[in-house]
Amino acid sequence: MNEWIFFLLLFLTPVVSSVPIALAYKSKEWTERLPYLSVFGIFVSVLMSLYIFFTMEGQYSWPWLGPELGINFVFMCDYLSRYMGVVTAVIAFFIAIYGLDYMKGDYRPSWYWFCFNLFTASMLLVVYSDNLFLLFVGWEGLGAASWGLIGHWFRDDDDIAYVGKAGRKVGPLELSWPPSSGGWRAISTIRFGDVPMFFAIAAIWVLAGNLNISEINWESLFMGIGAAGTIILMLCFLMGLFTKSAQVPFSEWLMTAMTGPTTVSALLHSATMVAAGAFVFLKVTWYIEPWNLHNVPGLELVYTIVLFVGLLSGLYGALCGSGMLERKVLLAASTMSSIGLMFAAGAASFWFHHEIAGMNLALLVGFWYMATHAFAKASLFLVAGHLIHATHSRFLCGGLEFGKRIKPAFIATIIATTFLIGMPPLTAYWVKSGMDEVMEHLYLHEPHIVLPIILLILTSLTYSAIMARFLSLNFIKGEKPEHEHLEGGGLMKLGYSMMVSVLFILLFLIFINEETAGFVHAGYMSMSFVVGVGALIAYLVALYVPRISIFSRVPGTFFNDRMYLPYLNDYITPKIGFFISYMVQEFGNRGIDAFFNTKVIPGLFGAISKGIRKIQIGYLNVYVKIVLGFVMLFLIIASIGGIGL
């Protein structure tokens, strides 16, 4: 059977299945029935991703814009794509099931389901595309769909969809963001990185003559453009990845994206959008093989930048989460932290070349942490959405009595947080043990790179504390909710229960797969065990004391305000933009107008016309003298030229 059929079903079924509800937007009766068809479309993608995982491997291509352009439908079914395709499709399906309950009664379901399914299909296109141009098509689809989903509740008529407290100001900046601004902040930040990324892809096409990631001769490309060219090319490409994955200083859009529906937040933070940047970095690095290119000038600097951007983003996100009071914003900060560690692990592959089953251990660590984080974080977001429905509050609240009455969410949160923080012997412990080994290698074999292991440990401990804080303030030691609506929500409970159960499957896979044997080996090393125990202690302490009154007054507020990074996005950057536009208007546009329309060119033509008019006196002898003068000038020039010859 032709393989293209499976790819068509994989990418198009989610979109096509959501077209009927989009067309029926005026009929309340049909928009209440048709979401099931949209969910079925995603289920077909799950089946196709599983078929590809078990039966297809290698590159598959079909012509598109012509072989001479090198822009074709090229899909790669390698290790990363096959696993990530299943992760993306399964998570989207579980969230869609949850959304049947969560989005019931919404005021524009047609918009939501079409954008949700487009979002899923776009991410799948990014995952499987080997051709950079085709990947960029999926990349832009993610951006467009995210704008529609984050700003879904555009009416700004319910405080529960806001981020921050209305009316609260720090200096001239109000720290409150409505849903109508969330989508704009996301798309404007992402576009800032997408433009240089597009130029980088165009440059690769011109310089390498090929856009297929697995076929590009990366060493020849980098050597041909030199150190400066390599740095500029890679940093332009990475700008798209950093902005999409909300790495410092482009993280603000991710926090205010929590104005969207929780289902969107769950998908955004687990298997799409935010994960897309880290996944593409791992995917490209997989084929660049930087550990074999130490002779390429400039490449080490590029990977050093990625390493520290990732680690600093990881610590920044964890610290911000320690002061967060809003459920989803706390989880958003922790996602940013996790994505940073994925970037850092992938970047460490430049210095760490230890292969297991023919694959670089550092890249395997980054990818398996991505998969573990995806299911755990999706579970926590879905729980947060259920809590928001149950308490009608986006802020952390809920005591032990409340936790007992909402046991499925309580249990799912315990499993998701403990399996994610890296405490032994649960899923993330083995993956983070591999990460510890990678960073320890940098310390032992690259003495000038001592900071990564320190940043990793600090991030791990802080991350454990904020996960415990989320559990404690929602189910154990939080304030009593003002409202409790615990009835219903059967599909919501089913959604996060299925999601969190996958963490047990991942734990099983780690112990039976050949390529993850390195994780298990690292888990028995003394340093990994010490860090794991430290994460457990930090978790237990924060569980018992989730809020420290002295700390929450000044440092806590500082972290809750995201270290005032919103000033960069909402105050400083707009001021710079307005200043540039003013300068362009005052000196650019007016200067051009003066040169062409009012002063220079008109003045020149005026002077020429006046000169011509002075000789137009009507006397024939004057005109004869002028002509004779030009003739004499011509003869003199000709004679000088003849002498020269």
CB of 170 within 8 A of CB of 569? no
CB of 183 within 8 A of CB of 226? no
pLDDT at residue 638 greater than cutoff 80: no
3-11: average pLDDT: 93
Choose the weakest-confidence range: 199-203, 347-351, 510-514, 571-575: 571-575
* Residue 204: alpha-carbon gap to chain centroid: 22
pLDDT at residue 122 greater than cutoff 90: yes
Q: What is the dihedral of CA 298, 368, 385, 477, to 10 degrees?
A: -100
Q: DSSP state, 360?
A: E
- Give the pTM: 0.90
DSSP-derived secondary structure for 106-123: -S-HHHHHHHHHHHHHHH
98-125: average pLDDT: 94
% of residues, the chain, pLDDT over 70: 95
545-569: average pLDDT: 75
pLDDT at residue 272 greater than cutoff 90: no
Show contacts of 503-509: CB within 8 Å, 24+ apart.
503/372, 503/375, 503/376, 503/379, 503/415, 503/416, 503/419, 503/426, 503/427, 504/427, 506/368, 506/371, 506/372, 506/375, 506/427, 507/419, 507/426, 507/427, 507/430
Cis peptide before 602 (omega within 30 of 0): no
How far is the C-alpha of 609 from the C-alpha of 163, rounded, in Å? 66
Domain-by-domain residue ranges, the chain? 4-564, 565-598, 611-645
Per-residue model confidence as pLDDT tens digits over 319-371: 999 888 899 999 999 999 999 999 999 999 999 888 888 899 999 999 999 99
Q: Tell me the β-bridge partners of 396.
A: none
Per-residue model confidence as pLDDT tens digits over 291-320: 999 999 999 999 999 999 999 999 999 999
How far is the C-alpha of 321 from the C-alpha of 560, rounded, in Å? 7
User: How far, CA to CA in Å, does 368 sit from each of 4, 334, 338, 526?
Assistant: 28, 17, 12, 21
Longest dimension (CA), the chain: 114
Per-residue model confidence as pLDDT tens digits over 40-52: 999 999 999 999 9
- Token pair in block for residue 70: 């090198």
